[in-house]
Amino acid sequence: MSHHVGRLHGRSVGGKQIFPARSRANFASSYPEGAHKLEHDLIEHPLLELDALAMLGESLPAASVEYNRGDLPIGVDGKPGSNGLTIGDTIRGIATSNSWAALKNIEQNPAYAALLHELIDEMRDVIEPRTGEVLSTQGFVFVSSPGAVTPYHFDPEHNVLLQLRGSKAMTVFPAGDARFAPDTVHEAYHTGGARELHWRDEFADFGLTFQLQPGDALFVPVMAPHFVQNGDAPSISLSITWRSEWSYAEADARAFNHLLRRHGMEPRAPRRWPASNMAKAIGARIARRIPGLL
C-alpha cells in the first residue's frame, strides 16, 4: 500500500453533511428497492483526484484492479482485457487511453476507509431499520475515458454511486424481473459465475436512464441490471456499497435454488424485500458445509 496515498487526507468530511437533507429524504422514501437520484457535496476531494487515484491503483493488489478497453458493446461475453498500459498510466492518461478502470475495495487504504465510513454513517439511520445492520462496507472508484461503456451487468450490493467528474448515463432495469436477468443466471452468479448479462436490444424500452453530472448520485438496488455510457469527457465516480442480512439471504436462496434445479426441480424465485427468504438461505448455508454439494 502506497504511503503517499495514505498521507493524502485532504479536507475532512467529518461534521459536514455530504448528502443534503433533500437527498436523505429521497433516500428514505425509496430505499431499498427504488433506483433514484441524490445529490452530494464531495466534488474536488483530494483523495478522489486523478493523481491520487493513480497512486492508489498502483498500491492496490492486482486482484483489486480491473481495467478494460472503453469501446465495448452494451452486451459483452467476457472482457477483452486492458489497453496494454499500467493502471497508473491508464488513470493519469484517461482522457486518451480509451479505457475504463475500476479500483476495488479501496477501503484497504485507511484514508479511503475513513471516507467510506463517514458517508455510510450519514445514511445508517435509514438503512438499518429496513434491511438490518450494515455489513461488508466496500468502496469502488471508476475512472472512464470519454465515450467508454460499462456493459450490462448486475451487482450483489446496495450501491450509491457518486459522480465526481465528467458525466455519464446509467440505465437501470427492475431488480428481480426474470425478463432482464433470468433466474438461472442469478443462480449461476451466486454459485461462482460471472455477473455480465445477456443483452437484447428490446430491453432498451424498459430501462430507466439517469443522467449524472458532478454533484449527482444514484442509488442502485441489489441485483438491479444496469449499464453505463460515459459522456464526452473523462469521468470519475465513487461507489459506496454495503451488504445486509436481507441481501445475503436472497443470494443464499438463489444458491439453494441452483441446488434444487440440479436435482430436477423448478424452484420459485426468491421474493424481494421485505421478504426474508430465510428458509432457503438456511438450506444453502447448511449445504455449503457438505463437501461437493453446493
Reduce the secondary structure of 69-104 to three states and give it as a string. ECCCCCCCCCCCCCCCCCHHHHHHCCCCCCEEEEEE
C-alpha cell at 280: 432457503
Region of 132 on the Ramachandran plot (φ > 0 left; ψ -120 to 50 alpha; else beta): left
**Res. 201: pLDDT tops 80:** yes
pLDDT for 184 equals: 96
**Res. 8: pLDDT tops 50:** no
First-to-last C-alpha distance (Å) of the chain: 35
Contact criterion met (CB below 8 Å) for 58 and 2: yes
**Res. 199: pLDDT tops 90:** yes
Contact criterion met (CB below 8 Å) for 130 and 32: yes
Tell me the C-alpha to C-alpha distance, in Å, between residue 255 and each of 90, 159, 188, 260: 37, 22, 8, 9
Contact criterion met (CB below 8 Å) for 91 and 50: yes
Range in 110-114, 138-142, 190-194 with the lowest mean pLDDT: 190-194
Range in 8-12, 183-187, 212-216 with the lowest mean pLDDT: 8-12
What one-character DSSP code corresponds to residue 272?
Answer: P
Question: 3-243: CATH homologous superfamily?
Answer: Cupin (2.60.120.650)
Query: 277-288: per-residue pLDDT in tens?
Result: 999 999 999 999
pLDDT classification of 16: cutoffs 50, 70, 90: confident
pLDDT for 5 equals: 45
Q: What's the mean pLDDT in 240-257? A: 97
**Res. 158: pLDDT tops 50:** yes
Contact criterion met (CB below 8 Å) for 106 and 140: yes
What residue spans define the domains of the chain?
Answer: 3-243, 248-287
C-alpha cell at 254: 438463489
Query: 165-176: per-residue pLDDT in tens?
Result: 999 999 999 999
- What's the whole-number average pLDDT of the chain? 91
